[in-house]
Amino acid sequence: MLTNDLMYKALVDKDISFEGLFIAVVKTTGIFCRPSCTARKPKKENVEYFKTTQEAIQHGYRPCKVCTPLEMPGETPIYIKGILNEMSDDPLIKFKDFDLRQKGIEPNMIRRWFKKHHGITFHSYQRMYRINSAFKKIQNGESIANVAYDAGYESLSGFTESYKTITGYSPINSKGLHVINITRLETPMGPMFACAVDKGICLLEFTDRRMLETEFKDLSKRLDASIIQGHHPHFDVLKSQLEEYFDRNRRSFTVPLYSPGTIFQQSVWRELQTIEYGTTRSYKQQAIALGKPEAVRAVANANGMNRIAILIPCHRVIGADGSLTGYGGGLWRKKCLLDLENKA
């Protein structure tokens, strides 16, 4: 139950796991905020709560300028989307501060955004994107010298140093290596990272998932590959099908999936994909369906290790009493996904 005490504690703690469950309004200032707002917290008696931003607006409150509750969490600004689209069309393009200012973009703004959402600077992101393109060209047999100069490097030594820093290998020793492409997608429930190899989508997770770093390291180790920013044709299909899903126009996905794991984990993940859209199953029922009724805890652990959210629908597994139990993307997202499917 979402009591006032629980919601106020979440507001004070700036608890992102309560995102989507309530909106807090401050009666003394006339504004409404997300649960995770970082602004100074009001006294308990000055706060009331609504389920949606629409209710807050209808009661005469205005949105907070700090947490911008009317925007999707982590939504990419339009000016950055334009830059990313240009990089997707031409991976070798290089934006300098002068080029950004010519487009009316302040370089410090784009640096801060990339640092916050990707953990790297914009110039580092560009370098990774170019190296990703160079990696593929070298794999296809192009000469290292031509690839280096096409990527905008003035010397082979500079290219080799950047290449080795990002991939861990020198260009000449990387011809038999593999790369995992990674991109960032926008969804109504917040941004997600997607990873792809030729066999299919191998990761789809919300960017604020706590286990994300561990998942990246495990995936890289299992596939013996480096994770590098770059485009892959599977991303186009994934983005289109996710948009249809959130618009309630798609109930299943056809984009190829590739999820390496133990034999038991893969059996659990395959079973998850048999849970029909708009329905739920308990962990016990899932264990029985696998022919292992005694392995409820092991099944739950394997569900938690699923690194392809939504497409492998672990959000459709709930507690035996109907309660919403653990979900890597946050219980509020689990509730929203189930509500979306039930309404459809």
Greater pLDDT, 181 or 172: 181
State pLDDT tens for residues 252-287: 999 999 999 999 999 999 999 999 999 999 999 999
Write the Ramachandran bin of 291: left for phi over 0, alpha for psi from -120 to 50, otherwise beta: left
> Taking the complete model, does pTM exceed 0.95, yes or no?
no
- The band of 73, judged by pLDDT with boundaries at 50, 70 and 90, is low
Residues that are catalytic: 314
Specify the DSSP class assigned to residue 183. Answer: E
Q: Which of 89-103, 153-167, 206-220, 283-297 has the lowest mean pLDDT?
A: 153-167
Helix, strand, coil fractions of the chain, as percent rounded to 5: 45, 15, 40
Better-predicted residue by pLDDT, 153 or 169: 153
The dihedral formed by the CA atoms of 307, 166, 128 and 142, expressed in degrees to the nearest 10? -110
Distance CA 92, CA 100 (A): 16
* Those residues with Cβ within 8 angstroms of residue 217's Cβ, 6 or more apart along the chain or in another chain: none
The answer to whether the Cα torsion of 270, 271, 274, 279 is positive or negative is negative
Cα dihedral 200, 202, 204, 207 in deg (nearest 10) = -130
Query: Model confidence over 217-251: pLDDT tens digits?
Result: 899 889 988 887 778 999 999 999 999 999 999 99
Q: Residue 200 pLDDT > 90, yes or no?
A: yes
Q: How many CB atoms lie within 10 A of CB 5?
A: 9
